[in-house]
Amino acid sequence: DGGITQSPKYLFRKEGQNVTLSCEQNLNHDAMYWYRQDPGQGLRLIYYSQIVNDFQKGDIAEGYSVSREKKESFPLTVTSAQKNPTAFYLCASSIVRKNEQFFGPGTRLTVL
Amino acid sequence: QKEVEQNSGPLSVPEGAIASLNCTYSDRGSQSFFWYRQYSGKSPELIMFIYSNGDKEDGRFTAQLNKASQYVSLLIRDSQPSDSATYLCAVTNTNAGKSTFGDGTTLTVKP
């Protein structure tokens, strides 16, 4: 089955720790995206990538980092510099310039 | 002013009625427009997209686009309780390679 997987589904982090969220897709899409969603709010773009080894900052990139070493994978690291990281994190992919995005099931991150 | 604005709702309609969801955007260079449905606790799923002025119909859903007014809407005919969800409007300037999402409108369809 083609699709996007994210892991873990739930993640708990102590203050001061870095954590990495996984996102893998087998849709052969070139573009991948990371969003953050807070309760009652829409999606805010963290980072996006349209090609391997290249990525751009979104609207709220501070405190986050990404890599795109493979077409299928776009991991997101939430660093200790992100002061309020508790949120629902969503990964998506699309064909470049089509922007019809397909989303993974998401990761809920909670800072203890 | 937000780049993409939606009525926050909640919007409540009786089963079988037409639900009308509205979205306005500020970037006149926007070329692609999307509606996503998000059930509580789940990730968004794409239900409609529209690129040209006018109406686009898909089953019980109709997307309407008016670029001159910078307005896009979603009509859901014969609303069902299973349509109860938050609907997110997304607007894309293809040159920028990214989409901007509204905060969503929560729809409740009452049996």
- Residue-wise pLDDT tens digits, A5-20: 999 999 998 888 999 9
pLDDT at A1 over 70: no
Contact by Cβ (8 Å): B102, B88:
yes
pLDDT, average across residues A80-99: 90
CA gap A25, A93 in Å, rounded: 8
Q: Which of B94, B98, B105, B106 to mutate to test the interface with A (most CBs of A within 10 A)?
A: B98
Q: Which of A35, A39, A43 is nearest to A64 (CA)?
A: A35
- B34 contacts in A (CB within 8 Å)? 99-101
For B33-69, how does the pLDDT look when each residue is reduced to its tens digit (9 = 90+)?
Answer: 999 999 999 999 999 999 999 999 999 999 999 999 9
Distances (CA, A) of A52 to A35, A48, A65, A70, A94: 19, 11, 15, 6, 14
Would you state the pLDDT for residue B4? 95
Q: Which of B27, B94, B99 to mutate to test the interface with A (most CBs of A within 10 A)?
A: B99
Q: Min CA distance, A92 vs chain B (Å)?
A: 10
CA gap A54, A8 in Å, rounded: 25
Q: What percent of chain A has pLDDT over 90?
A: 79
Contact by Cβ (8 Å): B105, B24:
no
Would you state the pLDDT for residue A96? 83
Q: Which two tokens stand for residue B71?
A: 């307005």
Would you state the pLDDT for residue A77? 97
Residue type for position A26: N
Question: Which single residue is written with the structure tokens 């080894």?
Answer: A53
Q: Which of residues 44-83 of B touch A (CB under 8 A)?
A: 44-46, 49
In degrees rounded to 5, what are phi and psi of residue B82?
Answer: -70, -10
Would you state the pLDDT for residue B45? 97
Q: Compare A16 and B81 and report the one with higher pLDDT.
A: B81
Q: How confident is the model at residue A23 (pLDDT cuts 50, 70, 90)?
A: very high
pLDDT, average across residues B15-33: 94
Q: Which two tokens stand for residue A26?
A: 């087998």
Would you state the pLDDT for residue A10? 95
Look over chain A and give the mean of its residue pLDDT values, rounded to a whole number. Answer: 93
Looking at the DSSP bridge assignments, the partners of residue A45 are: A35
Would you state the pLDDT for residue A21? 97
Would you state the pLDDT for residue A2? 67
pLDDT at B3 over 80: yes
Q: Which of A61, A74, A78, A71 is nearest to A23 (CA)?
A: A74
pLDDT, average across residues A77-82: 91
DSSP state of B57: E
Look over chain B and give the mean of its residue pLDDT values, rounded to a whole number. Answer: 94
Helix (H) or strand (E) segment spanning residue B2: none
Contact by Cβ (8 Å): A108, A10:
yes
The most distant pair of C-alpha atoms in chain B lies apart, rounded to whole Å, by: 44
